[in-house]
Amino acid sequence: MAMMRLRREDPRVVGSFRLHRRLGAGGMGVVYLGSDKRGQRVALKVIRPDLAEDQEFRSRFAREVSAARRIRGGCTARLVAADLEAERPWFATQYVPGPSLHDKVVEEGPLSAARTAAIGAALAEGLLAVHEAGVVHRDLKPSNILLSPKGPRIIDFGIAWATGASTLTHVGTAVGSPGFLAPEQVRGAAVTPATDVFALGATLAYCATADSPFGQGSSEVMLYRVVHEEPQLHGVHDALAPLIRACLAKDPKERPTTLQLSMRLKEIAARETHGPLPDARLAPSRLPADRPGGRHGEHPGPDRAQQRAERGTAGAAPGPSRTRGPAPAPSRGGPRSGARPAGRRAPGERPPSSRAGRGTGTRPPSRTNGTGRRPAPGPDRRLLRQRLVVFVTVTVLVALGIAAAQGCEGPARGLTGPTEPFGADRVTDGAGHGPDAGPAPAAADRRD
């Protein structure tokens, strides 16, 4: 925001704030840059002397300040202090550093669809907080929107009006800026939150085209176009044009609500920011072997995929020669014409194979997996070898378990009597007690 030095007629102190610079002037008064004793910077607006003498204006101004105190939202400049009984009423809001939306568009030209939608979504969210407090801004336009580092901020609630209050303007006058006024404001009808929606639509059209949707001209011409002509949205982004046109409907009931507008603009901003899926997501994923650092540390050449496809379809029949790059120099005394010395291979060349067809000029039929690539046998052989080792180990353990069980059974029998071969004659002791004899005689019989 441009700052100017204080003029001779400007005050130096207002309330508890010291004034430093002049920020601008409008139809209601002059805005100054001030600070309090703690150094907090504020934008302080002092009402014009002629309006200060109008008791009707003072009454409306008091109601507006009371309503503005209820606004709580990050997209608005917070009201800091106000004096409604001063000789020249004034109010101070939080100072927002950054250029206005009007100056930004004048400097850089029309904004992109993504940025326009993002700004519009933040403004719609701010208007939602304003309307929930029962306030209608009534003068939303690019010069009343500041682009701070934390996002856009709505300022200048000087002519804001509480919802449902009657307008206190004189007959034949309209409060606001031509080109951004709603038709009901021009007619002098009651304002509603839909009035700010119309102004937001005109502001978004200005962001997209750097011009008002109702063109340029005198105030009377602009007000007539607002009421009787359709907005010109040539040059507005296709993603935003239908929504902006709905905001600029002549009938307030046909306009979207601030909540609907905020949600819709957030969707458009997200879609325009990220855009469609990149081509890399739509293309088929590369095969692992197509990546650098393949088998044996090879770096596949540019036509390796074509070579694989040819090898997968050639089979055993000899086909046309395939180009592998520059032909290798013939070796001296090598077994094959054009072979390289042992241990060296050209880039992209496979290691020599020991299968059938070696040295005959023809290749054996190769099995492919449908992509022109020979399946790697390494993992299958390792899996088979692991299974074989497990099977042998389990077999040995079972055999050792059986042998151990039989070894334990033999000593157990030796405790009860001598082990004898199966089928041998059993030997009994003098009393006739053998292994198969009946129970031992009683103790009385033994004494005899």
CA angle 223, 228, 231 (to 5 degrees): 80
**Is 47 or 64 the better-scoring residue by pLDDT?**
47
pLDDT at 438 over 90: no
Predicted local confidence at residue 185, as pLDDT: 93
| DSSP SS3 for 279 | helix
**Does the pLDDT value for residue 104 go beyond 60?**
yes
Q: Supply the pLDDT for residue 291.
A: 39
Which position has the token pair 């291979």? Answer: 345
Check whether 230 has a pLDDT greater than 80. Answer: yes
The yes/no answer on whether domain 1-95 falls in CATH 3.30.200.20 is yes
Average pLDDT over residues 111-127: 95
**Looking at the predicted structure, is the pLDDT value of residue 275 above 60?**
yes
> Does residue 21 surpass a pLDDT of 90?
yes
- 196-200, 262-266, 317-321: least confidently modelled range: 317-321
Using CA atoms, how far apart are residues 217 and 235, in angstroms rounded to an integer? 20
CATH superfamily of 98-274: Transferase(Phosphotransferase) domain 1 (1.10.510.10)
Determine the straight-line distance between the first and last CA of the chain, rounded to whole angstroms. Answer: 136
Return the domain boundaries, the chain.
1-95, 98-274
For residues 22 and 45, the answer to whether their CB atoms sit within 8 Å is no
Q: Cα(124)–Cα(75) distance, rounded to whole angstroms? A: 9
Phi-psi region of 383 (alpha: psi -120 to 50; beta: other; left: phi over 0): alpha
Does 318 score more than 60 pLDDT? Answer: no
Binding residues for ATP: 45
Q: What is the pLDDT of residue 379?
A: 58
What residues have CB less than 8 Å from 76, skipping those under 6 apart?
A: 126, 129, 130, 153, 154, 155, 157
Structure confidence at residue 160 (pLDDT) = 57
- Segment 292-313 mean pLDDT: 45
- Greater confidence (113 vs 414) lies with 113
Mean pLDDT, to the nearest integer, of 30-37? 93
What's the mean pLDDT in 339-349?
49
pTM of the model: 0.58
Query: Which residues line the annotated binding site?
Result: 45
pLDDT value, residue 17: 96
59: its two tokens: 């009454």
Residues known to be catalytic: 139
Q: Which two tokens stand for residue 30?
A: 């002059």
Percent of the chain with pLDDT over 90: 40
pLDDT of amino acid 360: 47
Dihedral sign (CA 29, 63, 258, 73) = positive
Higher-scoring residue by pLDDT: 337, 75: 75
Say if residue 196's pLDDT is above 70: yes
Q: pLDDT for 358-407, tens place per residue? A: 444 445 455 545 445 555 555 577 788 888 888 899 899 988 888 888 87
Average pLDDT, the chain: 74
**311 confidence band (pLDDT: 50, 70, 90):** low
* 286 vs 162, more confident: 162
Range of weakest confidence among 75-89, 267-281, 292-306: 292-306
Lowest mean pLDDT across 39-43, 90-94, 159-163, 165-169: 165-169
- Flag whether pLDDT at 28 surpasses 50: yes
Residue 120: exposure state from Cβ atoms within 10 A (0-12, 13-18, ≥19): buried
- Contact (Cβ atoms closer than 8 angstroms) between residue 114 and residue 237: no
Residues in the chain: 448
